[in-house]
């Protein structure tokens, strides 16, 4: 196990009525002027936004709004938010929504106190040294942004989708998680969220670090629980207990706990980010396509971890050979994704003829010539992985 520092300063309030603590939590972090960020309309239709704003009014907290954040959020909305925050002298951000809304709010939080262009942080030209505080009311378990220090934004000029990772500054001060708020999710978003949280665990599970039995077992336990609860939420979207288990899994998958003491991978995410940047697909659906492709490549060049996953999580008991066991585990994973209605090929994702040379070029432009924590990959390797998803 490697040395590590682990700090998750986010306060979580979980369960029935969690969102009713919004004003109280904002006051506890001394918020006086708040910008409420939300998406394309689900929180208007459900009445959640109105209920949150009423709390702020009752508590005497000044607020303005920034709505219309789209999935796979882009830089113009961030710039608009930064301008409003400066004009309105906003001191705190409140994200009401999913990963796209939270990530936009995080980017605004980092951009407001910074003199230069906020994209400098995503381009690696500057490091975040301060940010406005941020609270979250979560409506979809998927990206795990409510507990991560990351923000994923696409720069429209060149369609560069980049994940900025910070240890401290972009972690929410509080996150309010009520599973009932996820009852209204369309099935394809529920399923995509499940693929995304599983991917966040796989990215840490596929690690070259030895002697990490505790975090391996945490990851395996989470994966098994998610796979058990997933069919329940798909067949009964208002099953509170199943929704609750899936919601908390989404946070635990990405708040860092599964990555402690080990090197992480992240190739599947990097490769998917290029797909969602170029083709605008749902992140989790893109991952359901890329994960089996990535694992299939690994089954031949570095099968140990895939074989362990197959034996411990996917129930593969009768394959003594690691490559064969890993491949059988991947077949079962694909079956699982398919059972949730997820795509497992480019074609099923709605992309008939993906421009693979473009995806490979952008991937290595954004992430470097060689990528991968588990196994180092060249552009020829990543091209092969994209082709395995055809
Ligand atoms: O925009 P609205 O109308 O709210 O609709 C959203 C959106 O269309 C809808 N939705 C959300 N909650 C709902 C609901 N519809 C009905 N009822 C509800 N309760 O779901 C759609 C997807 O929302 P989005 O926020 O895009 O989903 P998600 O949480 O999956 O976020 C995806 C984004 O997060 C990034 C992804 O790349 C993508 O851009 N990621 C962020 C990470 C991070 N910050 O740590 C890590 C992840 O790996 C990921 O890359
Ligand atoms: Zn993800």
Residue 271, pLDDT score: 98
The ligand 1 atom at the shortest distance from the C-alpha of residue 46 is 17
Query: Nearest CA to 92 among 32, 39, 52, 22?
Result: 32
Average pLDDT over residues 133-146: 98
Q: Which ligand has its closest atom nearest to the C-alpha of 134?
A: 1
DSSP string, 97-122: ESHHHHHHHHHHHHHTT-SS-THHHH
Ligand 1 proximal residues by C-beta, below 6 Å: 39-43, 71-72, 97-101, 103, 139-140, 142-145, 148, 150-152, 163, 181-182, 184-185, 189, 193, 196, 254, 269, 283-284
Residue 254, pLDDT score: 98
Q: What angle is formed at CA 198 by the lines to CA 253 and CA 312, rounded to 5 degrees?
A: 100
Residue 291, pLDDT score: 98
Q: Which of 51, 69, 100, 161 to mutate to test the pocket of ligand 1 (most atoms within 8 A of CB)?
A: 100
Distance CA 19, CA 277 (A): 32
With left for phi above 0 and alpha for psi between -120 and 50, is residue 148 left, alpha or beta?
beta
Instruction: Provide the mean pLDDT of the chain.
Output: 98
At 247-293, the pLDDT tens digits run 999 999 999 999 999 999 999 999 999 999 999 999 999 999 999 99
At 342-381, the pLDDT tens digits run 999 999 999 999 999 999 999 999 999 999 999 999 999 9
- The Å distance, Cα 138 to ligand 1 centre, comes to 10
pTM above 0.95, yes or no: yes
- Which protein residues have a CB closer than 5 Å to ligand 2 (ion)? 196
């Amino acid at each position: 196990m490697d040395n590590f520092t682990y700090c998750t300063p986010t306060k979580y309030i979980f369960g029935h009525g969690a969102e009713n603590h919004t004003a109280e939590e904002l006051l506890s972090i001394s918020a006086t002027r708040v910008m409420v960020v939300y998406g394309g309309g689900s929180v208007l239709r459900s009445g959640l936004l109105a209920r949150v704003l009423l709390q702020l009014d009752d508590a005497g907290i000044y607020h303005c709004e920034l709505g219309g954040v789209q999935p796979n959020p882009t830089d113009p909305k961030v710039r608009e938010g930064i301008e409003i925050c400066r004009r309105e002298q906003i001191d705190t951000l409140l994200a009401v929504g999913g990963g796209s809304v939270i990530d936009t709010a995080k980017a605004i939080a980092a951009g407001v106190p910074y003199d230069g262009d906020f994209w400098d942080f995503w381009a690696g030209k500057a490091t975040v040294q301060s940010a406005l505080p941020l609270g979250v009311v979560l409506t979809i378990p998927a990206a795990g942004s409510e507990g991560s220090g990351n923000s994923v934004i696409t720069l429209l000029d060149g369609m560069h989708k980049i994940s900025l990772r910070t240890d401290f500054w972009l972690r929410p001060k509080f996150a309010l998680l009520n599973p009932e708020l996820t009852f209204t999710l369309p099935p394809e978003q529920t399923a995509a969220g499940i693929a995304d949280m599983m991917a966040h665990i796989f990215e840490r599970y596929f690690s070259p670090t030895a002697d990490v039995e505790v975090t391996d077992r945490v990851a395996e336990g989470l994966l098994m629980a998610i796979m058990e609860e997933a069919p329940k939420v798909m067949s009964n979207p208002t099953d509170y207990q199943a929704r609750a288990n899936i919601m908390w899994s989404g946070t635990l998958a990405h708040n860092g706990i599964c990555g402690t003491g080990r090197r992480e991978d992240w190739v599947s995410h990097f490769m998917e980010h290029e797909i969602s940047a170029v083709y605008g697909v749902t992140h989790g659906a893109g991952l359901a396509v890329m994960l089996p492709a990535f694992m299939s490549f690994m089954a031949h060049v570095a099968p140990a971890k895939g074989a362990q996953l197959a034996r411990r999580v996917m129930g593969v008991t009768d394959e003594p050979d690691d490559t064969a066991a890993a491949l059988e585990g991947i077949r079962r994973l694909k079956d699982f994704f398919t059972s949730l209605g997820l795509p497992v090929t480019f074609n099923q994702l709605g992309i008939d003829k993906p421009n693979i040379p473009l995806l490979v070029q952008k991937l290595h432009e954004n992430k470097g010539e060689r990528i991968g924590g588990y196994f180092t990959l060249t552009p020829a390797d990543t091209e092969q992985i994209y082709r395995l998803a055809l």
